[in-house]
């Protein structure tokens, strides 16, 4: 979407590792608290301006050796589909307004309490298995959402 508007997208990996799922992540991934999951935290840029802080969580049992990939230069979704052969079928997404905490604001180079959109999404494969969960903080005045709704025929 950014490229089509002449904006150069870029990602910077902040954290790449394995964590124990807390209550929120466990709920989104439909697993138990304490289950080990991959966590990939990236800043998303447009023309070198920070736009979003994105947290991705994936089940370890589905993606052996996932952390070997360079997610600053490689699409996570391309790796999921082309290396691990999980094809995305659909996602569920929730959007709400929040404000940034001090550490988030610092990473995104804005003031603490800056308004942001919090997007939480759960992505499913063709077998309706959860393959990825994302929590993304998108700076309010740097974000535009576009949707199309089609009536059932």
Query: From residue 90, how far is each of 6, 60, 93 by CA, in Å?
Result: 27, 21, 10
What pLDDT does 3 receive? 56
When the pLDDT of each residue in the chain is averaged and rounded to a whole number, the result is 93
- Report the percentage of the chain scoring pLDDT > 90: 85
Q: What is the CATH number of domain 3-142?
A: 3.40.1410.10
Task: Let me know: does 6 contact 19? Beta carbons within 8 Å.
Answer: no
What pLDDT does 5 receive? 62
The pLDDT tens digits of the residues spanning 112-126 come to: 999 999 999 999 999
Mean pLDDT along residues 69-84: 95
Question: What is the pTM for the complete model shown?
Answer: 0.89
Q: DSSP secondary-structure letter at 60? A: G
What's the chain's length in residues?
Answer: 153
Q: Which tokens go with 105? A: 């604001």
The pLDDT tens digits of the residues spanning 95-145 come to: 999 999 999 999 999 999 999 999 999 999 999 999 999 999 999 888 888
Mean pLDDT along residues 67-74: 95
In angstroms, rounded to a whole number, what is the distance separating the alpha carbons of residues 37 and 18? 6
- Report the percentage of the chain scoring pLDDT > 70: 95
The pLDDT tens digits of the residues spanning 7-50 come to: 788 999 999 999 999 999 999 999 999 999 999 999 999 999 99
What pLDDT does 1 receive? 53
Residue 90, pLDDT > 90, answer yes
What pLDDT does 117 receive? 97
């Amino acid at each position: 979407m950014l490229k089509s508007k002449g904006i150069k997208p870029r990602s910077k990996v902040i954290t790449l590792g394995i964590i124990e799922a807390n209550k929120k992540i466990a709920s989104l991934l439909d697993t138990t608290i304490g289950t080990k999951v991959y966590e990939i935290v990236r800043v998303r840029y447009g023309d070198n301006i920070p736009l979003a802080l994105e947290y991705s969580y994936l089940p370890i049992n589905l993606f052996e050796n996932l952390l070997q990939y360079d997610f600053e230069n490689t699409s996570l979704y391309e790796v999921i589909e082309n290396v691990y052969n999980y094809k995305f079928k659909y996602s569920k997404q929730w959007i709400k307004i929040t404000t940034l905490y001090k550490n988030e604001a610092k990473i995104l180079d804005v003031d603490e309490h800056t308004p942001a959109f919090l997007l939480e999404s759960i992505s499913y494969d063709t077998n309706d298995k959860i393959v990825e969960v994302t929590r993304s903080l998108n700076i309010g005045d740097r974000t535009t959402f576009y949707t199309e709704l089609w009536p059932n025929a």
